Amino acid sequence: MSRRPRLSPTVGTARNLIRASLDEAGLPQGSLILVACSGGTDSLALAATAAYFAQSGQYRVGAVVVDHGLQPESADVAEAARSKLVKLGLEPVDVRRVEVAASGMGPEAAARTARYEAIDAAVHGHAAGAVLLGHTLDDQAEQVLLGLARGSGTRSLSGMPSRRGIYLRPFLALRRAETEEICRFSGLDAWHDPTNADPSLTRSRVRTQVLPYLEDALGPGIAESLHRTSRILAQDAAYLEELASAEYGRLRQPVGSTEADNIEADNSGQPGSGRHDGVARILLSEDALRALPPALRQRVLALAVVELGGVQPSFERLLAAENLLRRTGSAGPVQLGGNVSAYRQVRGARVPQGDPSYGSLVLGKNL
């Protein structure tokens, strides 16, 4: 009588990580889980591990394969991935072809946008309760290094979250070498994406050149240290964002289009005069903003920009907005991103319901 192969400790760890991720998300047993699978090592290892939960009857497990159509053999790669997933017992296995925008953003960002749109459509079509993504500790380390290179803030340096809505990343504590071990144990031959070694892509250079160099120069454990840093910063960022949201709710004074008509400018032609039909504006007390620590003040300003339909402002733009609070120079406007600008009200200008205008920072979106 043949013996069943002994369970690999790495496979056992991987199962525990998925179980913990699903428990944390509060997903009821019997729900459908979709694995986002490219056929590469990480996502194929994730699919093989997730298949255990279907075999044991705990969850229904399916997959979605996105064919970006960026390489001549992409359809064959997608079909090969589909075949492997079906053999693992996953059902349904949904292959979706997408069109990646050729302009307007970088190739990686465009592919990512198209991919998530396709996955979202699959979730809706199959009424899935969660999507598992195969990002590993190595991916997280790369993400933190990219954030450092961009000079990003706490949220960016915290890397990819382990959970965002229905999207779960249970393998963020696993190394890429461990997903390779899972594939070997499961008898799976993974596809190797040639773009992972393409030196024209920044992330590929970080993966193949920067991280190995840091390991050689500083010793082993750099990836783990970056991952640990991301976890610490994620906690800090979440706490600061919670405080900032509370302060923003306290300070925010929305101004409707009719009320905005009453906000007049000085003789220098400061924006805010005349009609701005349909354009909402937000007032923030200058004194209250000055009383906040910079970490909260900048987040409060950013929340106003985003609410008005702008984009997350850069650190430099936020510093420029803070300069308005010193009242030592121009009253604005300062462009903050996405056509949202900020300026301070001048002495004597009227404001909604006759309140004094002096001492308010006004944010609004320009049409």
pLDDT score of 270: 39
Residues 227 and 116 in one domain: yes
Residues 353 and 214 in one domain: no
Q: How far apart are CA 124 and CA 140, in angstroms?
A: 28
The answer to whether position 223 is within a domain reads yes
The answer to whether position 2 is within a domain reads no
Number of domains in the chain: 2
Residues 226 and 353 in one domain: no
Q: How far apart are CA 356 and CA 212, in angstroms?
A: 60
List of residues 6+ apart from 211 with CB closer than 8 A: 138, 141, 142, 145, 222, 223
The answer to whether position 247 is within a domain reads no
- Mean pLDDT over 26-30 rounds to 93
pLDDT score of 226: 94
Residues 18 and 160 in one domain: yes
Residues 28 and 108 in one domain: yes
- Mean pLDDT over 353-357 rounds to 46
pLDDT score of 180: 96
Residues 288 and 232 in one domain: no
Query: For residue 333, what pLDDT band results from cuts at 50, 70 and 90?
Result: confident
pLDDT score of 112: 85
Residue 267 has pLDDT above 50, yes or no: no
The angle that helices 137-150 and 176-186 make with each other, rounded to 10 degrees, is 150
Residue 143 has pLDDT above 60, yes or no: yes
The answer to whether the CB of 70 falls within 8 A of the CB of 80 is: no
pLDDT, one tens digit per residue, over 191-202 is 988 888 888 888
Name the residue with higher pLDDT: 257 or 361. 361
pLDDT score of 59: 96
CA 236 to chain centre: 16
Name the residue with higher pLDDT: 254 or 148. 148
The answer to whether the CB of 108 falls within 8 A of the CB of 203 is: yes
Residues 219 and 285 in one domain: no
| DSSP state, residue 191 | B
Query: For residue 306, what pLDDT band results from cuts at 50, 70 and 90?
Result: very high
- Cis status of the peptide bond prior to 220, with omega within 30 of 0: no
- Mean pLDDT over 284-291 rounds to 92
Domain boundary among 239, 267, 291: 239
The answer to whether position 1 is within a domain reads no
Q: CA-CA distances (angstroms) from residue 269 to 70, 319, 327, 342, 356?
A: 51, 24, 18, 15, 19
Residues 133 and 96 in one domain: yes
Residues 256 and 299 in one domain: yes
Domain boundary among 178, 213, 239: 239
pLDDT score of 323: 87
The answer to whether position 246 is within a domain reads no
pLDDT, one tens digit per residue, over 47-67 is 999 999 999 999 999 999 998
The answer to whether position 245 is within a domain reads no
Residues 219 and 349 in one domain: no
What's the one-letter identity of residue 272?
A: G
The answer to whether position 285 is within a domain reads yes
Name the residue with higher pLDDT: 113 or 5. 113
Residues 285 and 204 in one domain: no
Q: Which domain holds residue 135?
A: 9-239
| Phi, psi for residue 105 in degrees, rounded to 5 | -160, 170
CATH classification at residue 44: 3.40.50.620
Identify which of 181, 96, 157, 111 has the alpha carbon closest to the alpha carbon of residue 315: 157
* pTM of the predicted structure, to 2 decimals: 0.82
Q: Left if phi > 0, otherwise alpha if psi is -120 to 50, otherwise beta: which for 37? A: beta
Percent of the chain with pLDDT over 90: 58
pLDDT, one tens digit per residue, over 178-223 is 999 999 999 999 998 888 888 888 889 999 999 999 999 998 999 9
Residues 111 and 55 in one domain: yes
The answer to whether position 221 is within a domain reads yes
- Cis status of the peptide bond prior to 28, with omega within 30 of 0: no
Identify which of 39, 66, 34, 65 has the alpha carbon closest to the alpha carbon of residue 50: 34
Domain boundary among 218, 239, 260: 239
